[in-house]
Every structure is written in structure tokens, then in C-alpha cells.
Amino acid sequence: MAKITLITGGARSGKSSFAQRLAEVHSDHPVYLATARIWDDDFASRVKRHQADRDERWQTVEEEKELSKHDFSGKTVVLDCVTLWLTNFFHDRNYHLEEALEAAKVEWSAFVAQDMELIVVSNELGMGVHPENEMARKFADLQGWMNQFIAKQADTVYLMVAGIPLKIKG
């Protein structure tokens, strides 16, 4: 079973940087598990910025949904991020909240069965503005429920605020 550290917080709160620093403490050769699906040019530039933050010590694995098909046993892995990973399930399940949540939980459970040091980055959407449309509200619910699911399993949970990690579990 994975040893899980969950790092959550708002956009631009320093989640990814903190996750990378933690991983580098645990391993000389950490793995960056990227879940992004490139939707447009703006998003592609964000991905390039994240790539530039990592040096040659890092191994990058790109996987949009099927995390469990990769063997990370004995490794330190930064999963960045749950929000993008969930977006892929939500989109591919035609925005059906319950189907996307169930599929994500099944995949997550298979993934964390591996013996690894897992550092998970996720967004805390519930602290922001109430979404204006039904699809956005459904996604905020999906994100919140998945964050709760992961946090229950996590050994340690941090909330990032303005670049400062606040340890809230562990």
C-alpha cells in the first residue's frame, strides 16, 4: 500500500513546488506522474512551465487516466494533479458525475495498492466562488468528494495557502 501525502489548496498556492521539494527529500530520482490532457495552447504553455521546474533527476510519466497500469513500486511519485485526472474521467463519461466518481475511485484504489511514496497534488475548489453553471457545480462536487476519498487514505495532508504549507493531518 502506498504511503500517501495529499497537498491541496487553491490555484497558484504553491502546491506543485512544495510537492516537488518533498519528493526530492525522499528520493534522488523521483517520478513526476503528469495527468494533463492538453486542451489548448494556453494549457500547453502551463505544462512547459511545469516541465522547466524539474531537473535531470526527475523521470516523467504522462498518463491521463490509467495510473495503475504503471509500476511505481519502491519509488517516490508526485501525482500532479488529481483535478486534471478527474477532468479526463468527467469528460470521457459525458459529464456524468456518479459514473466519473465511481470510475476514478476504482482506478485510484488499484493505483495506491502499490508500495510507493506517493505525493498527490489536488485543487481545493470548494473554497472559491460558487460555480455559475451546472457542469461546473457537478465538477466541484466531483473534486470535493474525490479529495475526501483520498484524504481519508492519506497519511499526511497539507493545505497550501500563499505558498505556505499548513499540515492538517498526520
Q: What is the pTM of this model?
A: 0.92
Q: Look at residue 129 and tell me whether its pLDDT is greater than 70.
A: yes
Condensed to tens digits (0 to 9), the pLDDT of residues 27-45 reads 999 999 999 877 777 767 7
pLDDT at 144 > cutoff 90: yes
User: Exposed e or buried b for every residue in 2-39, given b needs 16+ CB within 10 A?
Assistant: bebbbbbbbeebbbbebbbebbbeebeebbbbbbbeee
CA 84 to chain centre: 7
**Domain containing residue 67:** 3-169
- Looking at the 3D structure of the chain, how many domains does it have? 1
| Residues assigned a catalytic role | 50
Q: Name the band, by pLDDT with cuts 50, 70 and 90, for residue 130.
A: confident
The CATH number covering residue 44 comes to: 3.40.50.300
CA distance 133 to 141: 13
